[in-house]
Structure 1
Amino acid sequence: MTDFIEAQTTAGRVRGFWRGESAAFLGIPFAEPPIGELRFAAPVPHKPWEGIRDALEHGATPQRGNGEITLIPEPSVEGESTLNVNVFTPAPGGTGGLPVLVYIHGGGYFSGSPASPWYDGASFNRDGVVTVSVSYRLGFDGFGWIEDAPHNRGVRDWLLALEWVRDNIANFGGDPSRVTIVGQSAGGGAVFTLLGMPAAQPLFHSAYSISGALGALTLEAAEQLGRSLAAEAGVAPTRAGLSTLSEERLMKVQNKVTGMEGGLAGGNPMDMLNGMINDGLKLGPVIDGELIPVSTIEAIRSGVGGDKPLVLGTTDDEFSMIFAEAKDKLKWIPANFLLGKLGLRGRARSAYRAANRDVKGTAAVLGRYVTDKMFLVAAMNVADARGTAPTWLYRFAWRSPVSGFAGHCLDVPFFFDCLSLDRVAVIAGDNPPQSLADEIHGDAVSFVESGDPGWPRFTEGHAVRVFDLQSKTESNGTAAVRALVA
């Protein structure tokens, strides 16, 4: 028999359920459904409801169709009310004194779902941390330029979700003054964006970026894509024009104009990676001069977010799997030639190869370069830009016996300490090291609780924590990628 538990929100009461030592409240709407007149509008706080609203199942997700885009199981849930939070807490109705972790999922800003079983906060609840996962509008609905619509609608969704946490989390046992924002991949990029946004500063007190993608589109680039999409669809680049497109039609046109028809497998991987490395993602946060006044790195360099402790890091082989299947073919092509195709030439290429002599074979060299260029350099630039602000940098170096890589997404079940869950074995093997999960998860809990993960700060000789079977802290730990810094 299910034991139910209730909690109060600003919009009304919700009914969750106990599962062992903590309670779950799923699919609580923080905004009105983004449909009709609200489809391309800024999010609007959800209106009050009468009685008690069940929060027993995951709410509808902005992601539609097959949710198997990434290596993380992220199911899609049909429905219109797609802007929701899931709250996992060991102390619903408590005194509001527990630290809070707010998780933003990844997926390249065009896919992903907060309904993944991996994002369940049970292990953090066990350790005294209230956990919240949030949804946000994806793809063109969330980030596309529209002539008469507000920019950065997905970013505004993050902000409203954080405002919901501020106003409600005490009723779930959390302390609104002790909120840590966490995200992986595009979610890690969301953490960077929020860290550099003046408007977001009152809504969190520390940040943790896992494989964060740094960058924001210029308004000009966003407008060009928006007009191209509207032209391809045969409608005006306005809310009225684009609202005539069904979700399915808009998704099809979006995939065509962004070059993501069929994903990486559907195009030329070298061309697509070259575009991602040098131009960034086609859809994402936009430097609109208002909500996001300047680029994230410029904002951080000017001191925005400098009072907030930050942990950030990458895996050692984020995208190496892209080249692994072509290993036998690539061995006949000189690595330097293909690095040149990806934009690395001259002295920078020579210095980078010299600093990475341990990486052997063309496929491995390309995989490491893409990882370093897209992720580790971004993390290092953020750490450098923060100066003396409290910053900790890490690398996840444990190689899966399945792929042979420390690949993208592999560290997520270690962070959430959920190695026994379904689908973890697919990327981590049958016996992933629990001791490593204990360490990574434990350090994360320490950071959320105290603002310190327990290893030396980056400012202490460019210290980098390397997570592996035998973890260590390396001084001058970014030397291997310094040649890639412009």
Structure 2
Amino acid sequence: MRTRGRFRGRAVDTAVDAFLGIRYAEPPFGPRRFAAPVRADHSGDCLEFGPIPPQSVELPGAPVWRPGDEDVLTLNVWTPAHGDGHPVLLYLHGGAYTFGSSAQPDYDGTALARAGLVVVTCNYRVGFEGFGHVEGRPANRGLLDQRAAFDWVRDEIAAFGGDPDNITVGGQSAGAGSALFLAGVARVRRVIAHSVPGRCYTEGFARRVAEWIDPTTPESAVASADALIAAQKSGPPGYDPVLFGPVADRLPVPPPHVDALFCHTTSEYRLFERVGTLAPVRTDEEYARFGRDLDLPAHVLDGYRALFPTVADAFVELLGDSVFAEPTTRLAEAHGRAHLARFSRPPGWHTADVPFSFGNLTGADFLIGGPPGPAEHDLSARMLASWVDFCRTGDPGWTGVHHWGPEVDLSARRALWQGVDLEGAVDFPVTGTGVRPPRPAP
């Protein structure tokens, strides 16, 4: 048993202590459902991850949500066993703003803590609970949860040996977008954003989605959201049905005084193709329809078709670049002094970089494309060290654009996007065909 102030955790080994399942806000249910988070003061044993927020996705090695689980706003701390004043990394998990948790094995902070960081991960409300429109209730409740977690870290992290004046907020995918929003409103020193999804939604879109959600209980909200997602067969949501996320005018660029490190993979959407969540496009006719549905310029469609051997390849790479790679790169350029990296080690798909950065290759065979060997462990050690250096000093150890893996020339792909507007909140029709309209909320 390890004690830090009023918290009791456990020793992972002689170098790292872990404190799991610390409540940072009261359970957001009952009269607090759909409300802003309310600060909680936790004390006592912190030995197990807390329950996860309402969702239907079951991820390998991670807890699942069970109806009745309510104490879902918790965080976890991994800290060096000795010393004070360590840099702090508050890491926000990804999951399309719809699923995921801080208890996923990829986010174990042991290796980073062993290298000198205090690492914090947190749960926050996802899906309709966190981002759905509810009349008279605050929008973007998931982002409010993250701000509450940051405030807890700022106030309490010194007890764990962390420096409250040197907090980096980081994340990948939805976690990266969340990190950017947090960096714009909190006293953040630095931000790490891997594979930022270039999507915010209009309030009108959020209202239309809410028309198809039964908000009576968390279970009915999850079930009706799943049904609505499954019903998307046409238009932009038909290719990649993500219906929840921040309601905002646009993604924020980190303030100039905040050090920034951006990264994206070079073949983002290959992951979704592999796991079968991406609607396939295999013919020229389907490809043309896809372009019309997303209102893509003809020269972009033609350019990708010329760069790749098949229609399916052009579709997957174009969609990945439009959603993740190009927005991430533009944000780095807009910041002006951000560090930018590209993860090009095969398979180079979405999330493949996360186990390397955390030093958690064991058990990540699928994400990284096979069992790790000496070369993979060496790459992981270098990526992890760059994060630690960045959190400590703002310098990850390179200038310009850095490649983790073989250098890939993306200039032809990037040139196609010049002058194409990818900014601002998106708004598109939602197909509710076959979805039972919700019962009125009580």
TM-score range, shorter chain: 0.7 to 0.9
Cα 1:251–1:324 shift into 2, 3 Å:
closer
**Cα distance in 1 between the residues matched to 2:150 and 2:134:** 25
Is 1:114 the counterpart of 2:95? The answer is no
* Structure 2 residue matching 1:217: 3-state secondary structure: coil
* Structure 2 residue aligned with 1:54: 45
**Cα distance in 1 between the residues matched to 2:142 and 2:282:** 42
* Structure 2 residue aligned with 1:464: 401
**Cα distance in 2 between the residues matched to 1:442 and 1:182:** 15
Deviations 1:372-405 (A, max 9, x none): 100111112212322x3x2011211111xxxxx3
Q: 1:171-320 to 2 correspondence within 5 Å?
A: 171-195=159-183, 197=184, 199-200=185-186, 202=187, 204-226=188-210, 228-229=211-212, 233=214, 242=215, 245-256=216-227, 259-261=228-230, 268=233, 272=237, 274=239, 281-287=242-248, 294-297=249-252, 300=253, 305-320=255-270
Compute the displacement of 1:205 (Å).
0.6
Which among 301, 305, 310 is matched to residue 349 of structure 1? 301
**Cα distance in 2 between the residues matched to 1:275 and 1:393:** 26
User: Amino acid of the residue matched to residue 212 of structure 2?
Assistant: L
Which among 309, 315, 340 is matched to residue 291 of structure 2? 340
**Cα distance in 2 between the residues matched to 1:73 and 1:408:** 19
Compute the displacement of 1:446 (Å).
1.3
* Structure 1 residue matching 2:17: 3-state secondary structure: strand
Indicate the structure whose relative CO is greater, using CA pairs within 8 Å and at least 6 residues apart. 2
**Cα distance in 2 between the residues matched to 1:98 and 1:60:** 28
* Structure 1 residue matching 2:229: 3-state secondary structure: coil
Unpaired runs of 5+ residues, structure 1, are 234-241, 288-293, 400-404, 457-462
Compute the displacement of 1:41 (Å).
0.9
* Structure 2 residue aligned with 1:236: none
Cα 1:332–1:255 shift into 2, 3 Å:
closer
**TM-score, with structure 1 as normaliser:** 0.78
User: Amino acid of the residue matched to residue 360 of structure 2?
Assistant: C
**Cα distance in 2 between the residues matched to 1:24 and 1:165:** 15
**Cα distance in 2 between the residues matched to 1:347 and 1:77:** 45
- Work out whether residues 27 and 59 of structure 1, in 8 Å CA contact, stay in contact via their aligned partners in 2: yes
**Cα distance in 2 between the residues matched to 1:275 and 1:331:** 16
**Cα distance in 2 between the residues matched to 1:330 and 1:305:** 39
Compute the displacement of 1:471 (Å).
5.7
- Work out whether residues 180 and 193 of structure 2, in 8 Å CA contact, stay in contact via their aligned partners in 1: yes
Compute the displacement of 1:268 (Å).
4.3
* Structure 1 residue aligned with 2:313: 364
**Cα distance in 2 between the residues matched to 1:426 and 1:471:** 20
Deviations 1:68-124 (A, max 9, x none): 2xxx643225531110110000136x43x1001111001111100111122111111
Is 1:44 the counterpart of 2:44? The answer is no
**Cα distance in 1 between the residues matched to 2:8 and 2:359:** 26
- Work out whether residues 320 and 364 of structure 1, in 8 Å CA contact, stay in contact via their aligned partners in 2: no
- Work out whether residues 335 and 361 of structure 1, in 8 Å CA contact, stay in contact via their aligned partners in 2: no
- Work out whether residues 105 and 113 of structure 1, in 8 Å CA contact, stay in contact via their aligned partners in 2: yes
Q: CA RMSD in A?
A: 2.7
**Cα distance in 2 between the residues matched to 1:147 and 1:271:** 26
* Structure 1 residue matching 2:345: 3-state secondary structure: coil
- Work out whether residues 63 and 112 of structure 1, in 8 Å CA contact, stay in contact via their aligned partners in 2: no
- Work out whether residues 24 and 40 of structure 2, in 8 Å CA contact, stay in contact via their aligned partners in 1: yes
User: Amino acid of the residue matched to residue 369 of structure 2?
Assistant: A
Compute the displacement of 1:424 (Å).
3.2
Unpaired runs of 5+ residues, structure 2, are 422-442
Q: Which has the higher mean CA deviation after the structures are superposed, 155-164 or 343-352?
A: 343-352
Cα 1:334–1:438 shift into 2, 3 Å:
farther
**Cα distance in 2 between the residues matched to 1:467 and 1:426:** 16
Q: 1:48-197 to 2 correspondence within 5 Å?
A: 53-68=44-59, 73-76=61-64, 78=66, 79-91=69-81, 94-95=83-84, 97-195=85-183, 197=184
* Structure 2 residue matching 1:229: 3-state secondary structure: coil
**Cα distance in 1 between the residues matched to 2:327 and 2:359:** 26
Which among 4, 8, 16 is matched to residue 7 of structure 1? 4
**Cα distance in 2 between the residues matched to 1:46 and 1:15:** 17
User: Amino acid of the residue matched to residue 17 of structure 1?
Assistant: R
User: Amino acid of the residue matched to residue 33 of structure 2?
Assistant: R
* Structure 2 residue aligned with 1:460: none
